[in-house]
Chain A
Amino acid sequence: MIDALSLAFIQRAIIAGIFVGFLGSYYGVFIVQRNMSFMGSGLAHAAFGGVALGILLQYEPLWVAVPFTILVAILITWLKEKTRLGVDTSIGVLFAVSVALGIIFLSLKRNYTADAFSYLFGSILAVQVVDLYFTLFVVVLTIATFFRYWQRWAYATFDSELAKTDRLPVVRDDYVLSILIAVTIVVSVKLVGIILISSFLVIPAATARLLSKTFRSMTFFSVIIGISSSIIGLYFSFALDLPTGAAIIIIQTILFLLGIAFDKILKSN
């Protein structure tokens, strides 16, 4: 394994794993506490529509997927605010439309299969230097917005009406959060794959919830779990020749089960 660390693609995968583990687990605490777990899956499938359009147009698929997924994230938030539909219903509708569009785009391109599969299931080999720069940009953006937005998102997550009485721009902040989640999903696609990405947003945060009494500690534990499970999962992925995304999620699930055990022990005492 030590030798493997000298390989450029392994180095890229580890860096990408740390970045994606951080991003998914950080935004995951808001997704889990807002009962929007379906959003990760919905936006990942929106990313599929964008990737398919990119493949069809012969552009770098992620460059097309970013605006496509952001547009869907904005539409989900808009439907939630402006209609009587529940957020899950809005996501469900846009999820289906995005996948349908993706299938149509791919059907128009005859030699799509290999490209599309690498995005569906993710691959260490698929991570390029340019992807790392893009992911780094999202990490920097996330850290920069942390100081301005964490407290406001936390307050609105606890009770959006209370936050409104304190004049926080809750709706605008929701759009910012949705856009950042959309970008996070797109940059995570190459490593984790479209199908499994929602787990990155849900499992570390759900595990952290079991271990935490405060939202601050939930955020902290979620990020630690997200990053560490990425590193451990990448190790097993390489050592046992398993698909990366799936290996990371198995590690996340093991930590989640340990979290449940910890919670039960805590309750029984």
Chain B
Amino acid sequence: MSVPAIEIKQLTLSFSKYVALDNINLSIEENSFITIVGPNGAGKSTLLKVILGIITPTIGEVLLYGKPLQSISPKDIGYVPQIKTLDRTFPALPIELVATGIKGSWIGRLNKSEYKKALEALEQVGAKHLERRPLNKLSGGELQRVYLARAVVREPKLLILDEPATGIDYIGETDIYKIIDEYQNTKGATVLMVTHDWDAAYHHADFILLMNRSLICFEKPDKAFSEACLRQTFGHVGHKHDMLFGEHSHD
């Protein structure tokens, strides 16, 4: 039996009396594509940050490939943060941002091999032409591609994405998911992605995790979007459910 890519045991995160994550237990197999879905404030991004070690949990532990996070090389994890957190006043070029994925630090001057590798990663995500365009001049979709290049350049075993297609047009969104799917298939990586897009979650994930501070359902897509799971997570089913599964699906 293979070791789970991610194993979360009795994880609770609280700030004073506010419980952001409540007793989460979860095991994610290697080479699977998991999407996390839940309402705003459900703790989805917070859960990713705990897995990444940015936030320390109050109780519980996270194991990656059977080991504590500190025993895993940071290069085994590729992370695509929400682009809305980006400081657009920072003077930087896409090639430099991708290079942070290679070095794990900001690089003043790239050597030939770093430059070549970063350029290849940009090409992989269809953003080679953006190489030297300042970050503050990139559109949301272009920026997402650059962040994705930064994550895949280190060829991680685990790819963690926080709303990687937010604010992108339909074509751009399809491209992003195609790149993620291709990466997972060619590298055998495990993908963990937060999204508000039920459609993307339904069509790309092997399993969907519905949460609202605690874990509510962790099922295959058709079961995860059942009326019971959705009501428990969101308080209602929503019109998107009808769009995806037909108006009478919850009869």
Task: Please report whether the interface of chain A is mostly helix, strand, loop or mixed according to DSSP.
Answer: helix
Within the complex, the shortest CB–CB distance from B183 to chain A, in Å, comes to 18
Q: Is A162 an interface residue (CB 8 A)?
A: yes
Q: Are A213 and B134 in contact (CB under 8 A)?
A: yes
Q: Is A118 an interface residue (CB 8 A)?
A: no
Contact of A33 among B74, B90, B97, B132 (CB under 8 A): B90
Chain B neighbourhood of A166, CB < 8 A = 74, 100, 104-105
Chain A neighbourhood of B134, CB < 8 A = 213
Q: Are A152 and B91 in contact (CB under 8 A)?
A: no
Which of A155, A209, A213 has the most B CB atoms < 10 Å from its CB?
A213
Range of interface residues on chain B? Answer: 20 to 34
Q: Are B54 and A164 in contact (CB under 8 A)?
A: yes
Chain B neighbourhood of A151, CB < 8 A = 103, 105-108
How far, in angstroms, from A152 to B103 measured CA to CA in the complex? 11
Q: Is A136 an interface residue (CB 8 A)?
A: no
Which of B70, B96, B106 has the most A CB atoms < 10 Å from its CB?
B106
Q: Is B87 an interface residue (CB 8 A)?
A: yes
Number of residue pairs across A and B with beta carbons under 8 Å?
75
Q: Are A161 and B105 in contact (CB under 8 A)?
A: no
Chain B neighbourhood of A161, CB < 8 A = 49, 54, 81, 85
Q: Which residue of B lies closest to A161 (CB)?
A: B54
Q: Are B87 and A152 in contact (CB under 8 A)?
A: no
Within the complex, the shortest CB–CB distance from B108 to chain A, in Å, comes to 5
How far, in angstroms, from A94 to B96 measured CA to CA in the complex? 37
Q: Is B92 an interface residue (CB 8 A)?
A: yes
Q: Which residue of B lies closest to A208 (CB)?
A: B91
Q: Are A165 and B53 in contact (CB under 8 A)?
A: yes
How far, in angstroms, from A177 to B49 measured CA to CA in the complex? 25
How far, in angstroms, from A86 to B167 measured CA to CA in the complex? 29
Interface residues of B in 127-143 (CB under 8 A from A): 132, 134
Within the complex, the shortest CB–CB distance from B10 to chain A, in Å, comes to 23
How far, in angstroms, from A182 to B19 measured CA to CA in the complex? 38
Chain A neighbourhood of B33, CB < 8 A = none
Given A165-B79, A168-B105, A215-B106, residue A155 in contact with residue B100 (CB < 8 A): yes
Range of interface residues on chain A? Answer: 20 to 34
Q: Are A165 and B77 in contact (CB under 8 A)?
A: yes
Q: Are A214 and B93 in contact (CB under 8 A)?
A: yes
Contact of B52 among A152, A155, A165, A213 (CB under 8 A): A165
Q: Is B86 an interface residue (CB 8 A)?
A: yes
Chain A neighbourhood of B109, CB < 8 A = 216
Q: Is B89 an interface residue (CB 8 A)?
A: yes
Q: Are A158 and B105 in contact (CB under 8 A)?
A: no
Interface residues of A in 138-169 (CB under 8 A from B): 150-152, 154-155, 157-159, 161-168
How far, in angstroms, from A157 to B49 measured CA to CA in the complex? 18
How far, in angstroms, from A163 to B101 measured CA to CA in the complex? 10
How far, in angstroms, from A84 to B70 measured CA to CA in the complex? 27
Q: Which residue of A lies closest to B150 (CB)?
A: A162
Given A164-B53, A165-B53, residue A159 in contact with residue B87 (CB < 8 A): yes
Which of B81, B87, B90, B103 has the most A CB atoms < 10 Å from its CB?
B90
Q: Is A111 an interface residue (CB 8 A)?
A: no
Q: Are A213 and B91 in contact (CB under 8 A)?
A: yes
Q: Are A215 and B87 in contact (CB under 8 A)?
A: no
Contact of A159 among B77, B81, B104, B132 (CB under 8 A): B81
Q: Which residue of B lies closest to A158 (CB)?
A: B90
How far, in angstroms, from A1 to B251 measured CA to CA in the complex? 93
Interface residues of B in 5-47 (CB under 8 A from A): none
Chain A neighbourhood of B85, CB < 8 A = 159, 161
Of all A-B residue pairs in the complex, the 3 with the closest CB atoms, nearest first, are A154-B106, A166-B104, A155-B106
6 pairs, A vs B, C-beta closer than 8 Å: A150-B108, A155-B105, A159-B81, A163-B105, A215-B91, A216-B108
The chain B residues found within 8 Å of chain A, CB to CB, are 49, 52-54, 70, 74, 77, 79, 81, 85-87, 89-93, 96-97, 100, 103-109, 132, 134
